[in-house]
Amino acid sequence: VLLFLSPPLQEGRCLYVILLMALYWCTEALPLAVTALLPRILPSNKVCPQYFLDTNFLFLSGLIMASAIEEWNLHRRIALRVLMLVGVQPARLILGMMLTTSFLSMWLSNTASTAMMLPIANAILKSLFGDKDTSKDMNRENEENQASLQQNKLYTLPTEMQFLASTEDKDLTEEKEVAGDGLSDLKKEEEYKANIWKGFLISIPYAASIGGTATLTGTAPNLILLGQLKSYFPECDVVNFGSWFMFAFPLMLIFLLLGWLWICILYGGINLRGWRTKKSNIRVDAEARAREVIKEDYQKLGPTKFAEQAIFFLFCMFAIMLFSRDPKFIPGWASFFAPGFISDAVTGITIVIILFFFPSQKPSFRWWFDLKAPNTETQPLLTWRKAQETVPWNIILLLGGGFAMAKGCEESGLSVWIGGRLHPLEGVPPPVAVILITIVIALFTEFASNTATIIIFLPVLAELAIRLKVNPLYLMIPGTIGCSYAFMLPVSTPPNSIAFSSGHLMVKDMARTGLLMNLMGVLLLSLAMNTWAKSIFQLGTFPAWANIHAENATSLLTAVENVTLSAL
């Protein structure tokens, strides 16, 4: 309350719109994309361009490439191939699921990656353990049989007669022990199956959220950071596809590995006490069936089509050209052009345009020399109709709304006014600030959209960095990635909701698993920001591009205070 006490008129109007949009985004009283159309603080000629910045076109190029991959089932072929390579033991399968989901989520949306991998996981689980409902019925039947044995007191002898028991009596006692052990083993096996089932289902949305952080196009908050950097700090050029990948990809791999170990330990994929125990015949047969299911699904895809090969080649070109445009540690290919002429958006759009005219069937050179050859139309790798149907255009509006809100904060002076109220935080050490920011944002995004969360917090983080005299990226990057670390609740992210809707997970399962995942994410992110990120983004110094903004902000803040005093 004290933070937002009595702002000046122009800043107060902007603050009102931001709070209104934040309320609508958190409660979803309106669709998220519709709420994104509300920021009308500035004239239309300043607001409207924010909805089609080059950052939006970079994101659009990624969405179109993802549509082409999904159109020809290339993502399914990659997923099944990886699962065939890693093996069918539960721990290996969970690792294969997480690696595949995270890789797909780097290029597809987190929601699409989860929705694609869950049916594959369910098919493998049913081949391993049978139908979940059937398993519950078998477990109930085993418990009834055990109760019946105890009720009828089968294979029991009076204590006095045990000393005089004959050889047949000893055989009966051994048979009783074997029967009891068999029922106990069956019960343990059912518990093991239920835990493995949960581990499979919960690993997929977690891997999707982690994988989306590895690339700029992987998730919307990453692109919002890029767009707001260009709005607040136009001279900042250290964040691009290549530099972000070098920072975020190692972080993703470490987090993915630790997350896999935690899920396997928690749900029985890795038994710390039983490395040398021999697997039962039931598990051996189940793993053989799972191997056959994966192999059969892969064979159903048939031989690799020309269209899949073409899309895979263009996809590799898409990634390589984005990475090598300006990798910072060496001159990129963009140095052959005039400065500012080539951006990541130009690179991405150039590659995806090829999808709309490149043939989906192998062209025949004989056609050019055969005068009688029919003049038939060849289907391209991706049609515009298919792109219209599959690309989530609402995300483009949502990004634009975030950029328009940031522009309104900057032009109205609200961000500077908020920064002037943050002086109590100037004594906080920057490493501590990184941890606190990540924790706050990770908790906030458990209940709100990650896109809405980062739109609200980034302007504040930028001004806080100016007050602390640290590189703004040192606070803005942890805030951005922390938005993707939402693991505790089904409503936190769409991938969590999709996995929870399967009916095999409970809220307490996600809460106890996600709590440690959130903690690991905060600590790993803090480690990354204070180690390899410093050399990639030059975080050890206060950059000139931020210093220019700080000088402008100081002059604007002085003007705001003078206006406020004169009004009083």
389 domain residue, yes or no:
no
C-alpha–C-alpha distance, residues 214 and 537, integer Å: 16
DSSP 165: -
DSSP 380: B
Task: Indicate the length of the chain as a whole number.
Answer: 568
pLDDT at 422: 66
- DSSP assignment of 437-459, as one string? HHHHHHHHTTTS-HHHHHHHHHH
383 domain residue, yes or no:
no
- DSSP assignment of 521-562, as one string? HHHHHHHHHTTHHHHHHTTTS--HHHHHHHHHHHHHHHHHHH
160 domain residue, yes or no:
no
Q: How many CA atoms lie within 13 A of 307 on its CB side?
A: 22
Rg of the chain over Cα atoms, rounded to whole angstroms, equals 29
141 domain residue, yes or no:
no
121 contacts: CB under 8 Å, gap ≥ 6: 97, 200, 201, 204
118 domain residue, yes or no:
yes
522 domain residue, yes or no:
yes
Determine the structural domain holding residue 427 and report its residue range. 9-134+184-364+400-567
312 domain residue, yes or no:
yes
CA 426 to chain centre: 33
C-alpha–C-alpha distance, residues 152 and 373, integer Å: 84
pLDDT at 523: 94
Q: 407 with 53: CB under 8 angstroms? A: no
Using DSSP's 3-state secondary structure scheme, residue 238 falls into coil
143 domain residue, yes or no:
no
C-alpha–C-alpha distance, residues 7 and 140, integer Å: 65
Q: pTM (2 decimals)?
A: 0.76
Q: 355 with 329: CB under 8 angstroms? A: no
Phi, psi of 40 (to 5 degrees): -125, 45
C-alpha–C-alpha distance, residues 386 and 332, integer Å: 34
Q: Considering its fold, how many domains does the chain have in total?
A: 1
C-alpha–C-alpha distance, residues 46 and 37, integer Å: 14
* 21: number of Cβ within 10 Å: 23
Taking the chain (568 residues) in runs of 10, the rounded mean pLDDT of each run is: 53 83 80 81 83 84 87 86 82 90 89 84 75 47 44 38 38 48 64 84 93 90 89 86 93 96 84 54 72 86 91 90 80 83 87 92 73 75 91 84 80 75 75 89 84 84 86 93 90 84 83 92 94 91 79 50 44
